[in-house]
Amino acid sequence: MHKRLCYGEDTVRSVGFVGLGTMGGRIARRLLSVGHEVYGFNRTPEKARPLVGEGLRLCGTPRAVAERSEVVFSMVTGDEALRSVGEGPDGILAGLRPGQVWVDMTTAGPEVSRELARRASERGGCLLDAPVSGSVTTLEQGQLSIMVGGDRAAFERVEPLLRQIGRRVTHVGGNGDALLLKIAINLSLPVQMLAFSEGVLLAERSGIRREVAVRAMLDSVIASPMLGYRGPFVLELPEEAWFDVSMMQKDVLLALETGRKLDVPMPATALANEMLTATRGMGFGRRDFAAIFHALAAMAGERRPEPDDGRAVVEPEARARGQGDP
Ligand SMILES: NC(=O)c1ccc[n+]([C@@H]2O[C@H](COP(=O)([O-])OP(=O)(O)OC[C@H]3O[C@@H](n4cnc5c(N)ncnc54)[C@H](OP(=O)(O)O)[C@@H]3O)[C@@H](O)[C@H]2O)c1
């Protein structure tokens, strides 16, 4: 049985989803679980097999997804990936019909999104940028925040659908505005993580166990929601990154570039960017960006973790001064 949602005079039954990665795959699962017919595409189709088992109808191209669905979503890595699924004879644009809404949840650059929005409107369709704030767990709890930029009427048509994905849904302005806000929010993530790592390392070097320091700091006023779930990763990195170092750096670079264009200096973001480069250089590119802690620890003279090309778990044993190996 399909739940039906307002979509103009009609209801939404079929939904398309292009990009079934860590976030997109889970959102598609959520849409399936509330009864939608979901058509999907992933560049690497094998990764979508579990979703096919749950009812997702896999298509061969993003265009086919757009053609089969009433509302089409996309959520891929960044600018390049968005162009790759959006443009060309097999892209979403090629399958977009007049009146159809394309909701892009990628954290991409505002300019690319605005350009694709112009091209969508030339076809009579409408692109909304709808980046999300939150993590894998926030998403699974239905607590994602979704900011939306673009045509207000199109937003109102898809709002009930967006509320099935995340609890907080806000229309913030025209095309690209939601992405600008998303970038402005995300620059704080590695900055916070770096400050937290400095504090943990300082406490540990003075003889306090890392676990004790982490717990005390997360019980203090500095515990933002992000640090609340990611702070413990300095004790053990998750096998699968919730948000990896390379992806984090992609957002930081978008922020730095936007700051340069708008004459806004961002010294804290620039420093965090250098630490992300160091973290990648140590082989942690595909690990959760909490690995920034390990780059800092190495700078503090701790045994350097083995480079792992982002696969094996690397946990350097931190030593309190005078308590461990020289
Ligand atoms: N993870 C988080 O906590 C989080 C939170 C908020 C926002 N975001 C944003 O959400 C977006 C997706 O993140 P994610 O964590 O889901 O990333 P992910 O797991 O790496 O998934 C990326 C997706 O993009 C596809 N892709 C990459 N390059 C492509 C290309 N050139 N052509 C076609 N498809 C391509 C991948 O396909 P393959 O499977 O074939 O590689 C995959 O489906 C990013 O913009 C990220 O910044 C993530």
Residues 141-161 have pLDDT tens digits of: 999 999 999 999 999 999 999
Nearest to 94 by CA among 128, 129, 130, 125: 125
pLDDT beyond 50 at 164:
yes
Residues 85-131 have pLDDT tens digits of: 999 999 999 999 999 999 999 999 999 999 999 999 999 999 999 99
Residue nearest atom 7 of ligand 1, based on CA coordinates: 132
Residue nearest atom 21 of ligand 1, based on CA coordinates: 21
The pLDDT assigned to 308 comes to: 54
Best mutation site among 18, 23, 46, 186 for ligand 1, i.e. most ligand atoms within 8 A of its Cβ?
A: 23
The pLDDT assigned to 137 comes to: 87
- Ligand 1, residue 108: give the atom nearest the CA: 45
**Of the given ranges (187-196, 235-244, 317-326), which has the lowest mean pLDDT?**
317-326
Residues 205-225 have pLDDT tens digits of: 999 999 999 999 999 999 999
- Ligand 1, residue 243: give the atom nearest the CA: 1
The pLDDT assigned to 316 comes to: 37
Is the shortest distance between the CB of 24 and ligand 1 below 6 Å? yes
The pLDDT assigned to 309 comes to: 46
In the reported structure, the alpha carbon of residue 288 is separated from the centroid of ligand 1 by a whole-number distance in angstroms of 14
The pLDDT assigned to 12 comes to: 79
The pLDDT assigned to 8 comes to: 46
The pLDDT assigned to 109 comes to: 95
Is the shortest distance between the CB of 293 and ligand 1 below 6 Å? no
Q: How confident is the model at residue 304 (pLDDT cuts 50, 70, 90)?
A: low
The pLDDT assigned to 312 comes to: 39
The percent of residues in the chain predicted with pLDDT above 70, rounded, is 90
pLDDT beyond 90 at 307:
no
Average pLDDT over residues 61-77: 98
The pLDDT assigned to 3 comes to: 40
pTM of the full structure: 0.88
Q: How confident is the model at residue 62 (pLDDT cuts 50, 70, 90)?
A: very high
pLDDT beyond 80 at 226:
yes
Say how far apart CA 273 and CA 254 lie, in whole Å.
11
The pLDDT assigned to 320 comes to: 31
The pLDDT assigned to 317 comes to: 35
The 3-class secondary structure across the chain, one letter per residue, is CCCCEEECCEEECEEEEECCCHHHHHHHHHHHHCCCEEEEECCCHHHHHHHHHCCCEECCCHHHHHHHCCEEEECCCCHHHHHHHHCCCCCHHHHCCCCCEEEECCCCCHHHHHHHHHHHHHCCCEEEECCEECCHHHHHCCECEEEEECCHHHHHHHHHHHHCCECEEEEEECCCHHHHHHHHHHCHHHHHHHHHHHHHHHHHHCCCCHHHHHHHHHCCCCCCHHHHHHHHHHCCCCCCCCCEHHHHHHHHHHHHHHHHHHCCCCHHHHHHHHHHHHHHHHHHCCCEHHHHHHHHHHHCCCCCCCCCCCCCCCCCCCCCCCCCCC
Domains of the chain (ranges plus CATH)? 5-173 (3.40.50.720), 187-299 (1.10.1040.10)
Residues 8-29 have pLDDT tens digits of: 444 678 999 999 999 999 999 9
Residues 254-264 have pLDDT tens digits of: 999 999 999 99
